[in-house]
Amino acid sequence: MDSNRLPIMDAEIGIIGGSGFYQFLNNATTVLPSTPFGAPSAPISIGEVAGRRVAFVPRHGQHHQFPPHRVNYRANLWALRSVGVRQVLAPAAVGSLRPELGPGTFVVPDQLIDRTWGRKHTVYHAKGKVVHVGFADPYCPRGRAAVLGAAEADLRPVDGGTLVVINGPRFSTKAESRWHAAAGGTIVGMTGVPEAAVARELAMCYTTVCLVTDHDAGVDGGEAVTHAEVLAQFSANIERMKALLTRAIAALPATEPDATASCDCRRALDGQALPFVLP
């Protein structure tokens, strides 16, 4: 796609930064879109990466002021969609539930288990209209292929795995970690839900890229996890994450118009009467 044809405030690809990931674009223009769900975590920064128009929002705010259960996931995704984004890459810090996946490992999961509660899980809350979206495969296959195809010799993400999303903000007990692993979990984090589900409700392609910062408590001798450890490990790998995302952005397919999009993520609302018009 010729990015020069896009209006100055439009973007086709969105990045939602996780813990320790507060900036991605240089010389960006910022905008604060209004949404039906309040303000996003921070103004949306819009710039160019690898010849593509990219919008960035730090998930936890510019000063990490929003804990996982207080992030306004609906506003963040609505705001990204309102500036043109249809493909989202979402880096996140996670704990490992597998001894072989140590700190510094990148994982591109293909499944998730939702163990959150009390969060705003849907944008479709108006009375009189019921909207159901398929979520059997929560992540975009084309987005995952772009990230995995962006691997280099020193950075080869693990292809597939199940992300267990806990409510937080506390970390898991050792018993919970063993339970999550026994249930088939590969990695564990606090922000993947409802983010992935809301993206699907808005007919957006969504791919998460996870950086293992620690072994979860009770896994491979792991003891209590600390927030400082998580941020330190993410900081040590932030440039590797940015390089991977930059290559993935270049590899993503051009965004198709909504009416003719071929990806199943973008067709999630086909045939359904919506209670409002999407941006």
Mean pLDDT of 135-151: 97
Q: Using the predicted structure, report yes or no on whether residue 7 has a pLDDT greater than 60.
A: no
Question: What tens digit of pLDDT does each residue of 162-193 get?
Answer: 999 999 999 999 999 999 999 999 999 999 99
- Whether residue 153 has pLDDT greater than 80: no
**Predicted pLDDT at 76:** 98
The pair of three-digit structure tokens given for residue 203, joined into one six-digit string: 């007919």
CATH fold label, 10-267:
Rossmann fold (3.40.50)
Residue 258 a catalytic site member: no
What per-residue confidence (pLDDT) applies to 9?
A: 65
Active-site residue flag, 214: yes
Q: What tokens appear for 73 in the block?
A: 């996931």
User: Could you give the percent of the chain with pLDDT greater than 70?
Assistant: 92
What are the contacts of 42-49 at 24+ separation with CB within 8 A? 44/79, 44/80, 44/83, 46/8, 46/9, 46/10, 46/11, 46/83, 48/3, 49/13, 49/24, 49/25, 49/246, 49/249
The residue that leads in pLDDT, 195 or 223, is: 195
| Residue among 2, 214, 220, 258 flagged as catalytic | 214
The pLDDT value recorded for residue 2 is 35
* Catalytic-role residue among 10, 110, 137, 216: 216
> What is the structure's pLDDT at 143?
98
Domain borders along the chain are 10-267
